[in-house]
Amino acid sequence: MVPPEFSYWLANPPRVDGQALLFEIGGMNYRVEQSSSGWALTKEERGLTSMLGSLRNYEDVEKYLLRLMGGVPQRAERTSSPDYRWYREGVDPRVRLEPTDPTAEYSYMSLFVDDEPLDRGSLKPSDATKFSHPLVMSYEQVDQIYREGLPDEWFTIDR
């Protein structure tokens, strides 16, 4: 059962399992753990685990998780959600996507920002397109976008 203070978000508080951070968001279980290239992101749905991708910087992981949680209250109005808008806009102009395996029909996409020589990580194509926008924003900017139009009490936990 979801505690009342988290019912708006369909989320439970994050928890630690060994070296991994576990998040339950919108009925899905997400896992973040360090990997050789930064932070691996996985999702478990109906007992099946799938790799979402990996991000090199923990600051980017925080924005990615905020994007997942922020989208939950807006699911009923999907066409006005930031994810929907960002997908329709396409890749942010400051970000370049390159397939991690150019020979594969479906490949994860590496995300490069401006002229940075090293990619920020790789995600599935549609996820990379949507995340290209918050990737170049500050955490505070992403947070403000998802708070827009929602009551302040949704962001306060009274104990």
Q: Over its length of 159 residues, how does the chain's per-residue pLDDT go in tens digits?
A: 444 444 445 567 788 888 898 888 777 889 999 999 899 999 988 888 999 999 999 999 999 988 887 766 665 556 678 888 999 999 999 999 999 999 988 899 999 999 899 999 999 999 999 999 999 999 999 989 988 877 776 666 554
Residue 155 in domain? no
Q: How far apart, in Å, do the first and last CA atoms of the chain sit? A: 17
**pLDDT, position 1:** 44
Enclosing domain of residue 57 = 4-148
Residue 67 in domain? yes
Residue 157 in domain? no
Say which residues have a Cβ less than 8 Å from residue 154's Cβ, sequence separation at least 6: 8, 9, 73
If one counts the domains in the chain, the total is: 1
Residue 90 in domain? yes
